Structure 1
Amino acid sequence: MKGAHVRSPHRPSVPPRLRPARPQRARGSSGFTFGKYREIIIAVAFFLLFDLGVLVLNFYTSFKIDQDTVAINLAGRQRYVSQRIARTLLELDAARAAGQSYRNETLAELRAGAKVFDLSHAAFKKGDTVPGGDGKPVFLDAVTSDRGRQLEAQVDALWAPYFEKLQPLMRDGFSTENLSAALAYSQANNIRLLNVANDFVTETQAIGASRASTLRMVQTGGIVLALLNFAFILMKFLRRLQTSDAAIEAANEENREILQSVREGLFLITRDFKLGSQLSQSAHALFGRSLAPGQDFFALLEPLLTDKALSDARGYVQLLFAPHVKEALVQGINPLSEVEALVKNRLGDQVIRHLSFHFNRVVEGGAVRHLLVTVQDISPRIELERKLHEERQRSQKEFEMLLKAVDADQAMLRQFVERAETSLLEVNDMLRSTSGAQGEAAILKRIDEARRRVHALKGDAATLGLETLASQAHAFEDTLDRIRQGGAGDLGQALVALPLPLEDLLHKVGSLKSLVSQQRAQPVPASATSINTLLAGLAEEVARDAGKKVMPVVAMGALLDLAPAQADLAREIAVQLVRNAVAHGIEAPVTRAAAGKAEAGRIAVQLARSDADWLLTVRDDGAGLSAPRIRRKLLELGWYTAEQLEAFDDRQVVSHIFKPGFSTAQGVSLYAGRGVGLDLVQANVQQLGGRITLASTPGEHTEFRVRFAA
Structure 2
Amino acid sequence: MATSHNIDNKRYQGLIISIALFLSLIGALLAFTFYTSSLLERNTALIDQTNKVANNAQAVIKDLFDLDASYGEDTNSPHIQRVLERLEQNTAEITSSIAAIEQGGTITDTEGRSYDLPRLDSDAQANMATANEQWKALEPKIQAYLKDADNVMVPSADELTQAVEQAKTSSLLINDSLDNLTDDVFNTAEREASTIRLIQAIGVFAIFAYFLIFVFFFVRRLRETDAEALAARRETQEIMQTVNTGLFLLDKDLNIGQQHSRALNDIIGEDRLAGENFTNVLRGRISDKDLKTTQQFIDQLYNPRVKEKLVDSLNPLHKVMLHNNSGNKATNNRYLDFKFSRVYDNKDIARILVNVNDVSDAVYLEQRLEKERSQNDMQIEMLTTILNVNPKIINEFIDNTQMHIEKMNNILKNPGSSQYELEAKLKAIYREMHSLKGEASALKLHSFTKIASDAEDKLHALQNQGQLSGNDFLQLAVHLDDLLSLSNTIATLGERINRAAPASAKPATTQTSAVLNESIVKSGVSKAAVTEGMTSNPLVDNMSIAGEADDDRLSFYQAFAKDIAARQGKQVQLKSDTLTQVAIPAQLEKPIKEISIQLLRNAVVHGIEKPSVRYATGKNAVGTIDLEVQDNGSSIILTVQDDGQGIDYERIRTKLSTDGRFSVEEASQLSQSELLTHLFSSGFSTKERADEDGGRGVGLDIIKAQVEEYNGELNVNSELGQMTRFVITLPKA
TM-score by length of 2: 0.50
The aligned residue for residue 279 of structure 2 is 284
The one of 587, 595, 599 equivalent to 2:609 is 587
Amino acid at match of 2:579: G
Shift of 1:264: 8.6
CA deviation digits over 1:278-318, x for unaligned, max 9? 6544833456599xxxxxxxx9967127969976986579x
CA deviation digits over 1:358-390, x for unaligned, max 9? 669999xxxx99875334686996687467536
- In the alignment, structure 1 residue 416 sits paired with structure 2 residue 409: no
Assess if the C-alpha contact under 8 Å between 2:683 and 2:696 holds in 1. Answer: yes
The aligned residue for residue 688 of structure 1 is 710
Shift of 1:646: 2.9
Assess if the C-alpha contact under 8 Å between 1:532 and 1:556 holds in 2. Answer: no
CA deviation digits over 1:172-208, x for unaligned, max 9? xxxxxxxxxxxxxxxxxxxxxxxxxxxxxxxxxxxxx
Do the aligned partners of residues 384 and 303 (structure 1) sit closer, same or farther apart at CA in structure 2, a change above 3 Å counting?
farther
Assess if the C-alpha contact under 8 Å between 2:654 and 2:664 holds in 1. Answer: no
Give the unaligned 5+ runs of structure 1.
1-243, 291-298, 318-332, 348-352
The aligned residue for residue 615 of structure 1 is 637
The aligned residue for residue 502 of structure 1 is 480
Shift of 1:614: 2.0
Amino acid at match of 1:404: T
Do the aligned partners of residues 381 and 608 (structure 1) sit closer, same or farther apart at CA in structure 2, a change above 3 Å counting?
same
Give the unaligned 5+ runs of structure 2.
1-225, 260-272, 286-291, 326-334, 504-543
Do the aligned partners of residues 455 and 263 (structure 1) sit closer, same or farther apart at CA in structure 2, a change above 3 Å counting?
farther
- In the alignment, structure 1 residue 429 sits paired with structure 2 residue 422: no
Single out whichever of 529-538 and 392-401 deviates more from structure 2: 392-401
The aligned residue for residue 448 of structure 1 is 427
**Match of 1:527, SS?**
helix
The aligned residue for residue 563 of structure 2 is 541
CA deviation digits over 1:201-221, x for unaligned, max 9? xxxxxxxxxxxxxxxxxxxxx
Cα separation, 2, equivalents of 1:358 and 1:308: 8
1:659-698 equivalence runs, <5 A: 659-698=681-720
- In the alignment, structure 1 residue 403 sits paired with structure 2 residue 384: yes
CA deviation digits over 1:142-174, x for unaligned, max 9? xxxxxxxxxxxxxxxxxxxxxxxxxxxxxxxxx
**Match of 2:565, SS?**
helix
**Match of 1:557, SS?**
coil
Do the aligned partners of residues 593 and 432 (structure 1) sit closer, same or farther apart at CA in structure 2, a change above 3 Å counting?
same
The aligned residue for residue 619 of structure 2 is 597
CA deviation digits over 1:615-642, x for unaligned, max 9? 1100000010011100011111111122
The one of 613, 629, 632 equivalent to 2:651 is 629
Single out whichever of 473-482 and 575-584 deviates more from structure 2: 473-482
The aligned residue for residue 418 of structure 2 is 439
Shift of 1:613: 2.7
CA deviation digits over 1:98-127, x for unaligned, max 9? xxxxxxxxxxxxxxxxxxxxxxxxxxxxxx
Question: What's the C-alpha RMSD, in Å, of the aligned pairs?
Answer: 4.5
**Match of 2:575, SS?**
strand
**Match of 1:607, SS?**
strand
Shift of 1:653: 1.3
Relative contact order (alpha carbons < 8 A, sep ≥ 6): 1 or 2 greater? 1
Assess if the C-alpha contact under 8 Å between 1:657 and 1:663 holds in 2. Answer: yes
Shift of 1:480: 2.1
**Match of 1:693, SS?**
strand
Amino acid at match of 2:450: S
**Match of 1:465, SS?**
coil
Cα separation, 1, equivalents of 2:377 and 2:486: 14
- In the alignment, structure 1 residue 303 sits paired with structure 2 residue 296: yes
CA deviation digits over 1:68-106, x for unaligned, max 9? xxxxxxxxxxxxxxxxxxxxxxxxxxxxxxxxxxxxxxx
Cα separation, 2, equivalents of 1:271 and 1:611: 86
Cα separation, 1, equivalents of 2:299 and 2:250: 21
- In the alignment, structure 1 residue 357 sits paired with structure 2 residue 352: no
**Match of 2:473, SS?**
helix
Cα separation, 2, equivalents of 1:337 and 1:344: 15
Taking only the aligned residue pairs, the percentage that are identical comes to 25
Do the aligned partners of residues 555 and 412 (structure 1) sit closer, same or farther apart at CA in structure 2, a change above 3 Å counting?
farther
Cα separation, 2, equivalents of 1:625 and 1:380: 56
Do the aligned partners of residues 394 and 273 (structure 1) sit closer, same or farther apart at CA in structure 2, a change above 3 Å counting?
same
The aligned residue for residue 82 of structure 2 is none
Cα separation, 2, equivalents of 1:397 and 1:314: 43
The one of 531, 538, 545 equivalent to 2:553 is 531
Number of matched residues?
A: 422
Amino acid at match of 1:357: K
Shift of 1:468: 1.9
Shift of 1:534: 0.5
Cα separation, 1, equivalents of 2:608 and 2:591: 24
Shift of 1:346: 12
Cα separation, 1, equivalents of 2:726 and 2:675: 17
- In the alignment, structure 1 residue 389 sits paired with structure 2 residue 366: no
Assess if the C-alpha contact under 8 Å between 1:338 and 1:355 holds in 2. Answer: no
The aligned residue for residue 485 of structure 1 is 464
Assess if the C-alpha contact under 8 Å between 1:302 and 1:310 holds in 2. Answer: no
- In the alignment, structure 1 residue 647 sits paired with structure 2 residue 647: no
Single out whichever of 421-430 and 303-312 deviates more from structure 2: 303-312
The aligned residue for residue 12 of structure 1 is none
The aligned residue for residue 94 of structure 2 is none
TM-score by length of 1: 0.52
Cα separation, 2, equivalents of 1:306 and 1:581: 54
The one of 699, 709, 721 equivalent to 1:699 is 721
